[in-house]
Amino acid sequence: MYKKKTLLGITYEFHSLKEIMAKANEEKSGDELAGISAENMKERMAARVVLAETTLSDIRSYPVVALEKDDVSKLIEENVNEEIYGVIKNWTVADLREYILDDKHLSKELLQIGTGLTSEMIAAVTKIMSNLDLIQAASKITVITHCQTKIGQKGVLASRAQPNHPSDHLAGIRASLFEALSYGIGDAVIGINPVIETTDNIYALLNETKDAIDRFNIPTQNCVLSHISSQMRAIERGAPADMIFQSLAGTQTGNESFGISISMLEEAASLIFEKGTAEGPNRWYFETGQGSELSADAHFDVDQLTLESRCYGLAKHFNPFIVNTVVGFIGPEYLYDSKQVLRAGLEDHFMGKMHGLPMGVDVCYTNHMSADQNDMDNLSTLLSNAGVNFVIGVPMADDCMLNYQSLSFHDIATLRNVLGVSAAPEFADWLEKQGLSVSGQLTKQAGDPSLFL
């Protein structure tokens, strides 16, 4: 694909769809590191004008990663609803944006149109949308999923309790979990990032979380976020797992760098449905984040937003219970500061929802990034207004195992209070029975983990 555009007396030339997509992106340090970003704002605007005029069929005709060399490309292509695509294929990217933002088109219409789009088309329209566009569009989309319980309802802000410990000490994990529960956190999942990847340890962590769930009749689900192979060994041994977890990349080579393949994911899906402990149809937890393909030298000169969208195309195939973009975790090499993290968080959330996914966001940053906790307050407030399915809470907003900053348990309780949203219905009822909440408002007992001792 060759395109050119003259703006303010300067003609800008683009020699491929990949180049147009990359240069139309908002400024990102990862794209600059890859050497594919626009040289200046004028070139960025020229690329956006060209992209807005590009038809959806043009985007499908010029794959950014060749189908014959990449199984993610092939899977995305195979999952397109051809009947819907046939109706919209001659739309420009600008036409698609107008359809999405039209007040007449709500969740049903957007989810339906999403089935006829490739991940690259969703990425393209994202690049010509403002932050407010991304919030407005995502807020219209409702995605309800069911593992042991259901989340995603309108007016619900669910949460993951992340009781990590620097040595996987079970008593320490228990203490963090009890504090989370006392603030009403943990309705999406009780999920632990382990330090030790042995089968014995994963088995012990799954049993520890399941024991707490059973002992206090907590309406939620458990998960241990180790490599998929160690979870599979633990489940084969009889460990009680409601969900199975894996990080995803947007290219086959990127996934190979994670030590996974689509066939391995298919095998794990069969296992969790055969031997998992959940009752519902959604039993996957996926995590993603802009920049992972670049860090694995698996990006093929494709920009990080487009590759992130392709992660969602892959995740969609497995009907997950939750998908989480760990938006600021990977560091300033890929998202330099709070402005870039905020933009990426809104982009990822919108793109996931357009894929029909139950999107959550880990609102976070690393300590060597130009960001602070007030920036996390801003992003979590914007995402909550955009209808994010869940966010993540750690003690005092400081993960002592992964060494990064996220939201505190109290931050999430405050978001619910300020915005008038609640925990997932079954979990909200449980909070009332525990005396931690009355009519949706936390009681004076909230924040006291000794209630569970």
| Among 331, 319, 305, 326, residue whose Cα is nearest residue 250 | 305
- At 436, the amino acid letter reads L
Across residues 182-194, what is the average pLDDT? 98
Would you say residue 108 has pLDDT above 90?
yes
Residue 123 contacts residue 26 (beta carbons within 8 Å)? no
Residue 92 inside a domain? The answer is no
Would you say residue 341 has pLDDT above 90?
yes
Asked whether residue 362 is marked as a ligand-binding residue, the answer is yes
Asked whether residue 287 is marked as a ligand-binding residue, the answer is yes
**Domain of 323?**
145-452
Residue appearing with tokens 């949203």: 421
Across residues 256-262, what is the average pLDDT? 97
Asked whether residue 222 is marked as a ligand-binding residue, the answer is no
Sign of CA dihedral 284, 289, 290, 295: negative
Confidence at residue 214, expressed as pLDDT on a 0 to 100 scale: 97
Asked whether residue 166 is marked as a ligand-binding residue, the answer is no
Would you say residue 145 has pLDDT above 90?
yes
Asked whether residue 234 is marked as a ligand-binding residue, the answer is no
Rounded CA separation 237/257 (Å): 27
Asked whether residue 194 is marked as a ligand-binding residue, the answer is yes
CB atoms within 10 A of CB 428: 17
Across residues 396-423, what is the average pLDDT? 96
Asked whether residue 246 is marked as a ligand-binding residue, the answer is yes
Residue appearing with tokens 């990426």: 344
pLDDT class of 61 with cuts at 50, 70, 90? very high
Rounded CA separation 249/256 (Å): 9
pLDDT class of 82 with cuts at 50, 70, 90? very high
Asked whether residue 401 is marked as a ligand-binding residue, the answer is yes
Confidence at residue 4, expressed as pLDDT on a 0 to 100 scale: 95
Residue 267 inside a domain? The answer is yes
Asked whether residue 295 is marked as a ligand-binding residue, the answer is yes
Across residues 402-426, what is the average pLDDT? 96
Residue 371 inside a domain? The answer is yes
Residue 102 inside a domain? The answer is no
Strands 150-151 and 145-146: antiparallel
Enumerate residues 6+ apart whose C-beta is below 8 A from 340: 26, 27, 28, 29
| Cβ-count burial 129-167 (b if 16+ within 10 Å, e if not) | bebebbbbbbbbbbbebbbbbbbbeeebbbbbbbbbbee
Asked whether residue 377 is marked as a ligand-binding residue, the answer is no
Question: Concatenated DSSP letters for 296-315?
Answer: TT--TT--HHHHHHHHHHHH
pLDDT class of 197 with cuts at 50, 70, 90? very high
The CATH number covering residue 197 comes to: 3.20.20.70
Across residues 327-338, what is the average pLDDT? 93
Residue 61 inside a domain? The answer is no
Strand partners for 67:
none
Residue 224 contacts residue 241 (beta carbons within 8 Å)? yes
Confidence at residue 344, expressed as pLDDT on a 0 to 100 scale: 98
Q: What is the mean pLDDT of the chain?
A: 97
- pTM, two decimals, is 0.97
Residue 76 inside a domain? The answer is no
Residue 126 inside a domain? The answer is no
Residue 337 inside a domain? The answer is yes
Rounded CA separation 88/302 (Å): 25
Confidence at residue 330, expressed as pLDDT on a 0 to 100 scale: 86
What's the number of domains the chain is made of? 1
